[in-house]
Amino acid sequence: MSLTGQISAEMFFVDRLRPEPLQMQLAASIISAILDTRAQPGTRMPSTRALAAHLGISRLTVTLVYQELAAQGYLTSLPRSGFAISEKVPHRRLDQADPAPTVQVDWAARLPDLTSRRQIHKPLDWRSYPYPFIYGQADPRLFNHVAWRDCARRALGAREFAELADDRLTQDDPVLVDYICRNTLPRRGIRARPQEVLITLGAQNALWIAIRLLARQDRMAVMEDPGFPDFAETLRLHGMPIHYGRSDAEGLDPADLPATTGLVLVTPSHSIPAGLTMTLERRNALLAAAQAGDFIVIEDDYDFEMSFLEPPSPSLKSLDRAGRVIYVGSFSKSLFPGLRIGYLVGPEPFIRQARALRAMMLRHAPAHMQRVTGYFLALGHYDAHMVRRREVFRKRRETMVAALAETPVQIVGAAKHGGSSLWVAAPEGVDSGALARALRDQGVLIEPGHPFYRSPPAVCQTFRLGYASIADGAIAEGIARIGRMAAQLARES
């Protein structure tokens, strides 16, 4: 190999403020430089000593990166002379062609407007706030990372890799499905066979599949108000008219259903966002109405695991004797939201079609992540995790309730069995959106209530306070700041 010069050390960089390890950053920087500059084979790399000194990192780190890139075919080792660019660089970037002619397309006329939909906004940098009352985010201090890594090691072992690396077409991981059928569903009073369960990319994917299959433009869909905005937006996307059902302290009122009801979407264990629990009488009345009116019910049973005050009420699916309830569950809330593992449970004919629809979108959820989750459940780590979370959440809720009692903010909704959030109201005249904006400057995050309503009031007093992600010791001060700001805005209104 003839040598054709040397790449300057100044072309490479690392950033100590970034979360990625320095070794990973340096490897990515070298690969990018090789491909971007189209450096010729034989071009020398800076010596490990020179590059380490330039970047202010360990020489060992540079050596390990060079050796790894040599194993991948980007570099080659020169006997007693360092490293150079290999003749076997895996791929090189093509020269960029001249820009294509501009094509004028009226995209606004061609596409539905999904960006202006009702949606819950959560800042991506929420961890940088000292008082994040954000619902649905995970507290990593409560998670057993060692156990999760062990389960991942098992799933990535050579013995199982070939099985999990295959294209599984429409099939799900048997370890995960078996646990759901034998353990998760029986705890909700549900009996289901594997062919009645479909793994999805979280509850969101499950709900979309169910609505896509069941939406009818000649029948009415019913949902709670306030309720989950994505219910409404998904129904609207599929052209199904919506009736916002009357809800009270007992949950959705079946007496308020239109005669043309074809689909009901409900969160009976913990309504979104108020956290109210539908009574057993209402549940039975809803099922009777479904039978009489020949409609289907989609039950989103989220947050039932957080039952630390009293046992959860029976699921609608467990009371269903006519096969009219489609059940949606998820491990993303109870483990961590980035997991994106959920599931649908329904009669076999429905799941068969749901499986076919999923296959057209994404075949199946990632097999390795399914198996890791299955092991975490089957080896008892999940149950231990939930016991720990319930105890922590019980204490956090007690602290929050006590702190709110000293403020003008009132609790207007809470799951009787526990949950992980409270639905509260600011004093009269105080809009929760304005309150949220004012509190961010004080390091406090809350979730304004506007997105949850079909037509939010001009002054929307309600907002949600989650306690899953905030540290125990920060709750009292965070609530005190909310109370002081709410009182100030009330005086100014």
Q: What are phi and psi of 464, to 5 degrees?
A: -110, 140
Record the pTM.
Answer: 0.84
Once rounded to an integer, what is the mean pLDDT over residues 308-337? 91
DSSP state string for 75-128: EEEETTTEEEE-TT-S--PPPPPPPPPP----HHHHS---TTS------TTGGG
Rounded-to-integer distance, Cα 227 and Cα 120, Å: 11
**pLDDT at residue number 247:** 86
Pairwise pLDDT comparison (41 vs 266), residue with the higher score: 266
pLDDT per residue over 96-126, tens digit each?
Answer: 555 666 778 888 888 888 877 788 888 889 9
Alpha helices in 302-346 (DSSP H): 316-319
Please indicate whether residue 99 or residue 15 has the higher confidence score (pLDDT): 15
Report which of residues 310 and 472 the model is more confident about. 472
pLDDT of residue 4: 62
pLDDT confidence tier of residue 81, bands split at 50, 70 and 90: confident
Q: Check pLDDT > 70 for residue 180.
A: yes
The pLDDT of 310-334, averaged and rounded, is 92
Residues recorded for the chain: 493
For residue 189, pLDDT over 90 is answered with yes
Long-range residue pairs from 221-224, CB within 8 A, at least 24 positions apart, any chain: 221/261, 221/262, 221/263, 221/264, 221/265, 222/252, 222/257, 222/258, 222/261, 222/263, 222/264, 222/265, 223/264, 223/265, 223/266, 224/252, 224/265, 224/266, 224/267, 224/271, 224/272
pLDDT range class, residue 197, cuts 50, 70, 90 = very high
Amino acid at 210: A
Residues 390, 391, 396, 402: is their CA dihedral positive or negative? positive
Q: What whole-number percentage of the chain has pLDDT above 70?
A: 97
Query: Distance of alpha carbon 330 from its chain centroid, rounded?
Result: 10
The predicted structure's pLDDT at residue 320: 96
Q: Work out the mean pLDDT of the chain and round it to a whole number.
A: 91
Contact 75, 87 (CB under 8 A): no
Average pLDDT over every residue of 59-63 = 94
**pLDDT greater than 60 at residue 95:** no
Q: Count CB atoms within 10 A of the CB of residue 64.
A: 15
Instruction: Give me the helices (H) in 315-404, please.
Output: 316-319, 348-362, 367-378, 381-404
Confidence at residue 91, expressed as pLDDT on a 0 to 100 scale = 63
Sign of CA dihedral 118, 111, 298, 201: negative
Question: 182-188 contacts: CB < 8 A, separation 24 or more?
Answer: 183/377, 184/329, 184/377, 185/329, 185/345, 188/301, 188/304, 188/312, 188/314, 188/315, 188/317, 188/318, 188/327
With a cut of 60, say whether residue 94 has pLDDT above it. no
- What domains appear along the chain, each with residue ranges and CATH number? 9-85 (1.10.10.10), 126-141+384-492 (3.90.1150.10), 145-382 (3.40.640.10)
Q: Write down the pLDDT at residue 3.
A: 53
pLDDT in tens, 243-291: 999 888 899 999 999 999 999 999 998 888 988 889 999 999 999 999 9
The fraction of the chain above a pLDDT of 90, given in percent, is: 70
> Is residue 232 classed as helix, strand or coil in its secondary structure?
helix
pLDDT at 433: 96
Q: What is the mean pLDDT of residues 224-241?
A: 93
Neighbours of 236 (CB within 10 A): 17
